[in-house]
Chain A
Amino acid sequence: MELILAIAAGALYGTGFYMMLRRRLGQLIVGLGLLSNGTNLLIFTAGGLTRARAPIIAGDAQELARPYADPVPQALVLTAIVIGFGVLAFSLVLAHRVHIATGADDIEEIESGQ
């Protein structure tokens, strides 16, 4: 499974950057979103995969029964997801402001218009 998820993460990084290299503001932001998803997947995968054993202590136990999915990468990814959301939303709005200010969506046109 690591192989497949590694490919998936790689695809997200690759397409994320590919979209950031396109000419439209909107595509750039979508690229950022893909990149952010890729990073989250990478952290999760690198932290080790354990099927369907959520790190939640069962109602009658005092301690987590092994094996369990490592909760630490989960906490990290959760933080990263939320931060990524905030940042992505902000960048999107900023891109839109650039669009309004310049009347253009083509990055080349925006940059040459100065």
Chain B
Amino acid sequence: MNRLVLPLVIPLLTAIILLFAPRKALWQRWISFAGSIGLLAAAIALFLRIERDGIAVLQAGGWRAPFGITLVADLLAAMLVVAAGIVAVAVTATSFAGVDPKREASGYHPLLHVLFMGVCGAFLTGDLFNLYVWFEVMLVASFVLMALHRTRGQLEAAFKYVTLNLIASSVFLTALGLLYGGTGTLNLADLSTVFRGREMGAFELVLAMLFFSAFGIKAALFPLFFWLPASYHTPPAAVGAVFAGLLTKVGIYSLIRIFTLLFRDAPPGVYTLLLGQALCTMIVGLVGALAQRDFRRVLSFNLIGHLGYTSVGLALVTPAAMAGSILYILHHILVITNLYLVSGIFLRLRRTTQLAELGSMYRERPLAAALALIPVFSLAGVPPLSGFVGKVALLRATLEASAYWTSAAILVVGVLTLLSMGRLWEASFWKPAPNPEKAPLNRVILLPIAGLSAATLAITFAAEPLFTLALRAGEQLLRPEAYIEAVLYGGARR
């Protein structure tokens, strides 16, 4: 079977099995974990194959592009699927440390796998409407995961999340309808040939703006980001980890796809808009982080700020900038997922993530603190951790592209992140906690954190091959001829 389909089939099959399986916690956890391992294995296999043989294509149903739906994996997609696999394994492993039993019985595990399926589908699809479908798969699963709570604040946050994301979906769908109405096709590669060399008139620009808005909301870019900090701090740590690690990245990924395939010939104004948006996202996110008094809200705002980093490549459209953004996305997925899992430790120990209530970790739980040190300061960009590598890559790219304001923003945001993470560390690890711990810690929870920290270190050590890969991926994106060729003329045909 074509390996491309496995990252979709494995999670779906796992979800279905979980629906049929006994609702006993242990069954659910093991099946769920096994599914994640399978997903990761499939992702790695896919990645290795693509790394070796180039872009892979699956024409679903055997209908040739653009008539059927094409699944396509280039380097970027494959890398992101692997990252999704890693997140999946980490998050499902966390459940062995215990999940709220009611939530577990309400379909927590199948929902996670549906979410993974949606994420992988979004990364792998070569069809714009199919992307919408995966977005919805992802969103609905995230809606439900978010809504599986009881407190008033959590519910309210979930409701905001749902409403604002539905608006985004609606805008996406509007853009899709107009796009099909104007071009008669939905396949990204086919659309790329349609738009190639065409002057950007009202039609194209309206589409660009609508897609930008739709994906910008999903990617939580300025000024469309507010749903994220309004909601991401409320779900349980593991759920927050998946959301923060993967969901916004799908938005960025879609923007990259759209702007490298459809709007390659956009007028400079569009890129100025993108760049300005990236700058504002960075600054607003990190400035916003400073006033936060909750561990996870600090993370939310940092997440936003760094999403600005990840959208720089999109605005500068140079291979180096693209590579920098890609590298940063990979780093960020691992690190932010890890940090949300770390917040889970606090939730276990202290039943809260309010910074005022935290502390004493450094003294009382040195192992956990040592493990957390890596993601906290990797996010802060302390060398030689992955954040530093990503920052260097982005800085080089922006300076090469003479985008000095962006470079300045990257540096300023770097300092602000350092400040934000320093304060976070101080408040949650160093300072003496006002109250004793309320519950014992199941040390199983440290395993995924250790794994992700190790993965962060691996990025450091493998910086060279990874950056080379990111560069290749960036070049694939900016010279999409190979992608188009593979989609339109590759794979089985009918």
**Chains A and B directly touch (beta carbon < 8 Å):** yes
Binding site for B on A (CB under 8 A): 20, 28, 32, 35-36, 39, 42-48, 70, 72-73, 76, 79-80, 83, 86-87, 90-91, 94-95, 97-98, 101-102, 110-111, 113-114
Q: How far is the CB of A16 from chain B (nearest CB, A)?
A: 8
State how many angstroms separate the Cβ of B378 from the closest Cβ of chain A.
33
11 contacts between A and B (CB under 8 A): A28-B163, A45-B181, A46-B182, A47-B180, A80-B173, A86-B140, A90-B143, A91-B166, A98-B152, A102-B156, A114-B156
A72 to B51, CA, bound (A): 35
Give B333-369 as 1s and 0s: 1 = Cβ < 8 Å from A's Cβ atoms. 0000000000000000000000000000000000000
Is B136's CB under 8 angstroms from A87's CB? yes
Cβ contacts B131-152/A at 8 Å (1 or 0 each)? 0010010011001100100111
Pair B158/A76 contact, Cβ less than 8 Å: no
Given known contacts A36-B170, A87-B140, A90-B140, is B163 in contact with A97 (CB within 8 Å)? no
Residues on the B chain within 8 Å of A35, using CB: 166-167, 170
Write out the residue numbers on chain A whose beta carbons fall within 8 Å of the beta carbon of B215.
none
Asked if A97 meets B155 with Cβ closer than 8 Å, knowing A73-B180, A86-B140, the reply is yes
Distance (whole angstroms) from the CB of B57 to the closest CB of chain A: 21
Q: Judge if B162 is at the interface, Cβ distance under 8 Å.
A: yes
B177 lies within 8 A of A39 (CB):
yes
Does A97 contact B147, Cβ atoms closer than 8 Å? yes
Which among B136, B162, B166 has the greatest number of chain A C-beta atoms within 10 A? B166
Q: Mark B234-257, 1 if CB is under 8 A from A, else 0.
A: 000000000000000000000000
Q: B152-165 interface mask toward A, CB cutoff 8 Å, 1 = contact, 0 = none?
A: 11011011001100
Determine the distance from Cα of A20 to Cα of B162 in the docked complex, in whole angstroms. 13
Interface of A is mostly: helix
Q: Contacting A90 at CB < 8 Å: which of B144, B150, B170? A: B144
Instruction: Determine the distance from Cα of A20 to Cα of B164 in the docked complex, in whole angstroms.
Output: 10
Known: A42-B174, A47-B181. 17 other contacts (CB 8 A): A20-B167, A35-B167, A36-B170, A39-B173, A46-B178, A46-B180, A47-B177, A70-B184, A73-B180, A87-B169, A90-B140, A90-B162, A91-B166, A98-B159, A101-B152, A102-B156, A114-B152
Which among A32, A76, A90, A111 is the interface contact of B156 at CB below 8 angstroms? A111
Contact A79 B143 (CB under 8 A): no
Contact of B147 with A94 in the complex, beta carbons under 8 Å: yes
B136: A residues at CB distance < 8 A: 83, 87
Bound-state CA distance A102–B129 (Å) is: 38
Please name all residues of chain A whose beta carbon is closer than 8 Å to the beta carbon of B170 when the two chains form the complex: 35-36, 39
Closest CB in chain A relative to B434 CB, distance in Å: 22
B102 to chain A, nearest CB (A): 14
Which of B143, B184, B186 touches A94 (beta carbons < 8 Å)? B143
A98 and B156 in contact, given A90-B140, A91-B162, A91-B166 (Cβ under 8 angstroms): yes
Residue of chain A at shortest CB distance from B177 = A43
CB distance from B168 to the nearest CB of A (A): 12
- Closest residue to B169 on the A side, CB-wise? A87
Q: In the complex, A35 Cα to B165 Cα: how many Å? A: 13
Chain A residues in 8 Å Cβ range of B181: 43, 45-48, 73
A44, A72, A86 — most chain B CB neighbours (10 Å): A72
Taking a contact as CB atoms under 8 Å apart, the answer to whether B133 and A83 are in contact is yes
A91-B392 Cα distance, complex, nearest whole Å:
43
Task: List chain B positions with a Cβ less than 8 A from chain A.
Answer: 129, 133, 136, 139-140, 143-144, 147, 150-153, 155-156, 158-159, 162-163, 166-167, 169-170, 173-174, 176-178, 180-182, 184, 186
Q: Which residues of B contact A114 (CB under 8 A)?
A: 152-153, 156
Chain B residues within an 8 Å CB radius of A39? 170, 173-174, 177
Q: Which residue of A lies closest to B154 (CB)?
A: A101
Give chain A nearest CB distance to B31 CB in angstroms.
25
Contact among A20, A42, A83, A111 with B177 in the assembled complex (CB-CB below 8 Å): A42
* Least distance between B374 CB and chain A CB atoms (Å): 35
Interchain nearest-CB distance for B187 vs A (Å): 11
List residues of chain B with CB within 8 A of the CB of A86. 140
Contacts of B163 in A (CB 8 A): 20, 28, 32, 91
CA distance A91 to B70 in the complex (A): 31
> In the bound complex, do residue A79 and residue B140 qualify as a contact, i.e. CB atoms below 8 Å apart?
no
Q: Which residues of A contact B162 (CB under 8 A)?
A: 90-91, 94
CA A95 to CA B143, docked complex, whole Å? 12
Docked pose: A113 CA to B143 CA in angstroms: 23
Partner of B159, one of A72, A76, A95, A113: A95
Distance in angstroms from A92 CB to nearest chain B CB is 10
User: What is the CA–CA distance of A1 and B425 in the complex, to the nearest angstrom?
Assistant: 63
Collect the chain B residues with CB atoms within 8 Å of residue A111's CB. 156
Q: Please, how many angstroms separate the alpha-carbon atoms of A73 and B178 in the complex?
A: 10
- Are A43 and B173 in contact, with the CB atoms below 8 A? yes
| Contact B177–A46 (Cβ < 8 Å) | yes
**Contact assessment for B166 and A98 in the assembled complex, using a CB-CB cutoff below 8 Å:** no
Chain B residues, CB < 8 A from A79: 129, 133
- Please give the distance in Å from A77's CB to the nearest CB on chain B: 8
Contacts of B152 in A (CB 8 A): 98, 101-102, 113-114
Identity of the chain B residue whose Cβ is nearest the Cβ of A36 in the assembled complex: B170
Nearest CB on B from A30, distance (A): 13
> What's the Cα separation between A15 and B196 when bound, in Å?
37
